[in-house]
Amino acid sequence: MRRLVVAAACAASVAGAASSVGAQGLPWANSGLVDRQVWLQNRQLLEGRGIRTGNFELHPGIGADFGYDSNTFYTSSSLSNVRPALRLRVTPTFYVSTLGAQRSANSDSTSTALPTVNFRGGVGLVYNEWIGLQSGIDLSALRNLGAQASLRFDFFPGRTWQFGLGADFVRTIQPGGQDGFIGTPGTSARLNRNTVLGNLEVAYAPGNGVFEFRFGYNIQATLFDDLSGNNSLTNTGFARMRWRFLPKTALVWEGSVSRLSYLNETTSSAGLFSATPMTTRFGVAGLLTNRVSLTAVAGYTATFYELGDNADTVVGQAELQWLIDARSQLRGGFVRDVQQSYYGNYYTRNRGYANYMQSFGGRFVLTVDAGIGLYQYGYLTYPRGSARAGVARTSPDIGGDYDPATGRFTATRVDGTVFGEYRVNDVFGINATLRAEALISGFKLPPSATQPIDWTRVEAMLGVRANW
């Protein structure tokens, strides 16, 4: 029995890896709330056991955490205006869904028919407060309310033909820039923004899912509070295929074509241009043994920006996951992809990562994430698309390469997170998060070329949550 449990858990992780391959194939996919609580990204914790009412499950919840942020605005450590702060976040959530598999199996109903539709929706708010730690520095103006809301309908699940409709809204509260250098590098430009996403998907899965083909359409609008020149609209058509040639191993393929349009190109001083990026990847995802799974995909991406620099390169991902036992697992991998950037059109990311999870007696859970990546940025441009000179090196001893012939430059991104939670019961948890991250770069960027773009940041938070 224990062996079956381990194998089933590993199979579930493989299915998750295969689905993540599809998500990453959509260019410029939004990652959600920046700096949100770790537990808020875990659906099992976010929704809890639920409160049944008829054929629905209700999942109310609330969480709060308080702690220290060493660099609120992602400012270079070589400057004198690095702003540490105390930070408070309060997050009420409410989700509702049709009955999950466990409750359906335990239902008094004798019907074994598959449901016609599965539904899930909900909303969460994130109240953000910063308290400056330096005399004369008032950060109360950063106070703001983030949000996330989602709505998803899956029609005819488990049938040969399936249909899905979804919509999401994310309001991200972010005081300063990150590796995309949004706004002016090194300054305290606020990057608060609203992202609206819509999704339509059709699936054809004959033979009990041995073969599955999915295709659909996504639309995403990103609207900034203060930086209207960065507002954009992306329309994406995509297709994904999975063929399970072994019981728990499948060949996978994905392809997508997008249209990225900046809505106010004339107001942008950095030079932001519309593009038609295309991506395709092919590979395998499945079990090597009952405890070890592998995902390996490779393909090609071309960005086709109308002006400025373009990426035309190989992309891919390799990930190995080891289910050590029923309470611990280890996974690691490497990803190469192309992401949208607000400086230089794009950056090519080469990132290695590792994750370890350990449960102690079902009460205490520890997760450790770490990653290091080399990011190569396209050349910077004037608003009309010509290359902009003026990238300056701050120090020959700091990492990063600059090619005067192409204008492209590189930076290194390092990040690590340790999250631990003591679960008092199925509802209540007490947690702690320690996160450290850095952008290592020896460059200053035009037009002023006076402020370095490197930064380091440490965040330490203590929190509590209650999720039903």
106-119 pLDDT per residue, tens:
555 555 678 899 99
**Encoded tokens for 66:** 């308080």
Residue 305 banded pLDDT, cuts 50, 70, 90: very high
- Look at 13-27, 146-160, 342-356 and tell me which has the smallest mean pLDDT: 13-27
Which stretches within 196-266 are classed as H helix? Answer: none
134-158 pLDDT per residue, tens:
888 888 888 999 999 999 999 999 8
Residue 27 banded pLDDT, cuts 50, 70, 90: very low
| pLDDT at 30 exceeding the cut of 60 | no
Nearest to 95 by CA among 118, 123, 117, 55: 123
Amino acid 141: pLDDT: 87
Collapse the DSSP code of 425 into the 3-class scheme (helix H, G, I; strand E, B; otherwise coil) and give the result: coil
Average pLDDT value for residue range 434-454 = 80
Q: Which residues are within 8 A (CB) of 62 and not within 5 positions of it... i.e. 6 or more apart?
A: 90, 91, 92, 93, 465, 466
Residue 26 banded pLDDT, cuts 50, 70, 90: very low
User: In the 3-class helix/strand/coil scheme, how is 200-213 assigned residue by residue?
Assistant: EEEEECCHHHCEEE
Amino acid 8: pLDDT: 33
Collapse the DSSP code of 89 into the 3-class scheme (helix H, G, I; strand E, B; otherwise coil) and give the result: strand
Average pLDDT value for residue range 124-138 = 91
| pLDDT at 18 exceeding the cut of 60 | no
Place of tokens 């290359």: 387
Average pLDDT value for residue range 59-71 = 95
Q: What percent of the chain has pLDDT over 90?
A: 55
Q: What is the pTM of this model?
A: 0.85
| pLDDT at 388 exceeding the cut of 80 | no
Please state the separation of Cα 274 from the chain's center in Å: 23
Amino acid 136: pLDDT: 81
CA separation for the pair 97, 132 (Å, rounded): 41
Mean per-residue pLDDT of the chain: 83
CA separation for the pair 467, 47 (Å, rounded): 6
Amino acid 458: pLDDT: 97
- Specify whether the CB–CB gap between 299 and 318 falls below 8 A: no
Residue 209 banded pLDDT, cuts 50, 70, 90: confident
Q: Which domain holds residue 429?
A: 2-467
- Specify whether the CB–CB gap between 194 and 171 falls below 8 A: yes
110 burial (CB, 10 Å; 0-12 / 13-18 / 19+) is: exposed
Q: What percent of the chain has pLDDT over 70?
A: 80
Residue 182 banded pLDDT, cuts 50, 70, 90: low
Amino acid 386: pLDDT: 78
Q: In this structure, which amino acid lies at residue 108?
A: D
Amino acid 79: pLDDT: 78
| pLDDT at 45 exceeding the cut of 70 | no
Place of tokens 């929706």: 121
- Look at 174-188, 254-268, 417-431 and tell me which has the smallest mean pLDDT: 174-188
- Look at 135-139, 241-245, 371-375 and tell me which has the smallest mean pLDDT: 135-139
Average pLDDT value for residue range 27-37 = 40
Point out which residues pair with 370 in neighbouring strands. Answer: 354, 416
Average pLDDT value for residue range 325-333 = 95
**Encoded tokens for 145:** 């309310």
Collapse the DSSP code of 310 into the 3-class scheme (helix H, G, I; strand E, B; otherwise coil) and give the result: coil
What is the count of structural domains for the chain? 1
| pLDDT at 11 exceeding the cut of 70 | no
- Specify whether the CB–CB gap between 345 and 303 falls below 8 A: yes
CATH number of the domain bearing residue 10: 2.40.160
Report the alpha-carbon angle 4-333-437, nearest 5: 120
Choose the most confident range, by mean pLDDT, from 24-38, 178-192, 233-247, 397-411: 233-247
Please state the separation of Cα 288 from the chain's center in Å: 27
